[in-house]
Amino acid sequence: MKHYDLIIVGAGIAGASAAYEFSKQGDNVLLLEQYQFLHTKGSSQGGSRIFRHAYENPNYIKLAIEAGELWRELEHNLKEKLVFPTGGIDIGTNDNKDLQDIQTALQATAQDYEVLSAHETNKRFPAFQLSSDMIALYQKDAAILAATRAVNALLLAAALAGADLQDNTELVKIDMAKDRVTVKTNLTSFSASKIILAAGSWLDKLLPDLKLNLDVEQQQVIYLKVNKPHLHSMVNMPIFINRNPAAMVYGFPLIDSPTAIKVANHLAAPKIEIENRNFELNSQRAKNTIAQVRSFMPYVSDNLEDFATCLYTKTKTEDFIIDLHPEYDNLLIAGGFSGHGFKFGSLLGKLFIDKFAKTGKYDLDMFGF
């Protein structure tokens, strides 16, 4: 049986980041993925993800700042364009609590931002036509991350650093001991000194005794054709999040398609059992999202060009789980990224190294389960 320093289960953004960072520091790493690499059944696939500093919690802002620097470093080292700076606006009514909390957190972390009136927003970014009771919080550091391309780049870099990458290989059984782990896959068995479970929406199934209480939601993104493409280009339109507590729609300028922008509603997607995941459009949800978006983006049509489904794996607090198993400190649980984890992908591997080594370089207390 082949032995490794570390086995990583799952080749989404979390597993790919781990494979890269641990192999770079000289560890002998095996990464296992149950499906084909870059498959579209999990959470990390697609052309675009939002990168932003604008969070209500200063801890996330600090991590996002470091992640932003690391994304740029990765672009340079991996020679791959991964980050498309657009700036970003969080919009809402002028008494919106999220917007107030984000401002407080940005001030506490000394981040630049601007508060724009509806009139200023509509003039500066004419793709948006906000009603007079709304404001926009503009943050220049927001950007678009090329999602699948980033995962691919990290996997290639991990392989170049010496990692063994195996797709179509499902972990089916784990035998834990304090200093050694043995795993059985559908093909063969391996052993390692330690293991990271970065299994996304399948994590709960691998650790049934721990009661991680993760909710899996089937999300969808829709692509809507626009009437005035130049207003929706990456030069003229920032990424946006509408902080309406009833329907938090968000979206991107033209990037995945030359004719349609990608939008979605972050909230209240149907909870599912992973076995029941399907790839169909939820038409009622799409209709609601279209109505929401068109209420402040008048040049977006209701003409659906395309759609895609994707999975959220949510904790009750929407804070991630990056924690050691209570009995085995050679087993790291990395999941529950709750629909906002991708942006930290450049940093996750380093956080995992810190958690195993217990050096406390990062404050990871909020990521316990």
- Using rule CB under 6 A, residue 238 touches ligand FAD: no
**Residue from the set 4, 6, 15, 293 that interacts with ligand FAD by CB under 6 A:** 15
Contacts of 35 (CB under 8 A, 6+ apart): 41, 42, 167, 168
Q: In sequence order, what are the beta bridge partners of 300? A: 226
- Using rule CB under 6 A, residue 10 touches ligand FAD: yes
Q: Which is nearer to ligand FAD, 12 or 87 (CB)?
A: 12
**Residue from the set 24, 340, 350, 355 that interacts with ligand FAD by CB under 6 A:** 340
Q: Which three-class secondary structure string do you get for the chain?
A: CEEEEEEEECCCHHHHHHHHHHHHCCCCEEEECCCCCCCCCCCCCCCCEEECCCCCCHHHHHHHHHHHHHHHHHHHHHCCCCEEECCEEEEEECCCHHHHHHHHHHHHCCCCCEEEEHHHHHHHCCCCCCCCCEEEEEECCCEEECHHHHHHHHHHHHHHCCCEEECCCCEEEEEEECCEEEEEECCCEEEEEEEEECCHHHHHHHCHHHCCCCEEEEEEEEEEEECCHHHHCCCCCCEEEECCCCCCEEECCCCCCCCEEEEEECCCCCEECHHHCCCCCCHHHHHHHHHHHHCCCCCEEEEEEEEEEEEEEECCCCCCEEEECCCCCCEEEEECCCCCCHHHHHHHHHHHHHHHHCCCCCCCHHHCC
Q: Which is nearer to ligand FAD, 171 or 212 (CB)?
A: 171
Residues within window 251-290 making contact with ligand FAD, judged by CB under 6 A = 264
- Using rule CB under 6 A, residue 14 touches ligand FAD: yes
Q: Which is nearer to ligand FAD, 61 or 171 (CB)?
A: 171
- Using rule CB under 6 A, residue 315 touches ligand FAD: no
Q: Which is nearer to ligand FAD, 67 or 300 (CB)?
A: 67
- Shortest Cβ distance from residue 321 to ligand FAD (Å)? 10
**Residue from the set 56, 120, 170, 215 that interacts with ligand FAD by CB under 6 A:** 170
Write each residue from 186 to 225 as x if it is in contact with ligand FAD (CB under 6 A), else as -, in one continuous string: ------------xxxxx----------------x-x----
CA pseudo-torsion sign 146, 149, 153, 159? positive
- Shortest Cβ distance from residue 307 to ligand FAD (Å)? 11
Q: In sequence order, what are the beta bridge partners of 336? A: none
- Shortest Cβ distance from residue 39 to ligand FAD (Å)? 6
Write each residue from 48 to 77 as x if it is in contact with ligand FAD (CB under 6 A), else as -, in one continuous string: -xx---------------------------
- Contact segment (CB under 6 A) with ligand FAD among 31-39, 88-96, 102-110, 227-235 equals 31-39
Residues within window 294-313 making contact with ligand FAD, judged by CB under 6 A = 310-312
Q: Which is nearer to ligand FAD, 23 or 219 (CB)?
A: 219
- Rounded CA-CA distance 318/328 in Å is 25
Q: Do 144 and 342 meet the contact criterion of CB atoms below 8 Å apart?
A: no
Name the closest residue to ligand FAD (Cβ).
Answer: 12
- Shortest Cβ distance from residue 219 to ligand FAD (Å)? 4
Q: Do 1 and 191 meet the contact criterion of CB atoms below 8 Å apart?
A: yes
- Using rule CB under 6 A, residue 44 touches ligand FAD: yes
- Shortest Cβ distance from residue 107 to ligand FAD (Å)? 22
Write each residue from 130 to 169 as x if it is in contact with ligand FAD (CB under 6 A), else as -, in one continuous string: ----------------------------------------
Q: Which is nearer to ligand FAD, 99 or 214 (CB)?
A: 214
**Interacting residues toward ligand FAD by CB under 6 A:** 9-15, 32-35, 42-44, 49-50, 170-171, 198-202, 219, 221, 264, 310-312, 335, 337, 339-343
